[in-house]
Amino acid sequence: MAVHSALRGRGVGTALLRRLESLLVGHRYRSLSLLTSASSHTYQPTRAFWEARGFMPILALDNLWETDVAMVYTKPLPGRAGTHSRSGRETPGNVGHAGGRGGSR
């Protein structure tokens, strides 16, 4: 996800994320994951953005990109009433993906 630099800090990214999460919950997705830079100073505000919105860093990938370590962030999504199968068990979760490093590096 990326917001044009002239429009950042005005709530656009938060609104996009809220809308995406709402759509995913409606389609019974159970979590949302993304990749971003684990170490680049440039991406410190980006990491803070995701962490402030409930994403947890769960896995560092040091062989994915040549010049940087990638961090996988994930966030559990709330369940929705009516997401149980007839057997009474919850249906298997889907996993959504968002993010990417975005922008220029």
Ligand X SMILES: CC(C)(COP(=O)(O)OP(=O)(O)OC[C@H]1O[C@@H](n2cnc3c(N)ncnc32)[C@H](O)[C@@H]1OP(=O)(O)O)[C@@H](O)C(=O)NCCC(=O)NCCS
The site for ligand X (CB under 6 A) is made up of 1-3, 8-14, 34, 36, 43, 45-46, 48-49, 52, 99-103
The CB-of-2 to ligand X minimum distance in angstroms stands at 4
The CB-of-75 to ligand X minimum distance in angstroms stands at 13
The CB-of-57 to ligand X minimum distance in angstroms stands at 12
* Torsion of the alpha carbons at 101, 44, 105 and 70, rounded to the nearest 10: -50
Cβ atoms 17, 51 nearer than 8 A = no
Q: What CA–CA distance (Å, rounded) separates 90 from 84?
A: 4
Cross-strand pairs, 70: 37, 61
* Position with the least CB separation from ligand X: 13
Nearer to ligand X, 13 or 96 (CB): 13
Nearest to 95 by CA among 40, 41, 58: 58
Nearer to ligand X, 3 or 20 (CB): 3
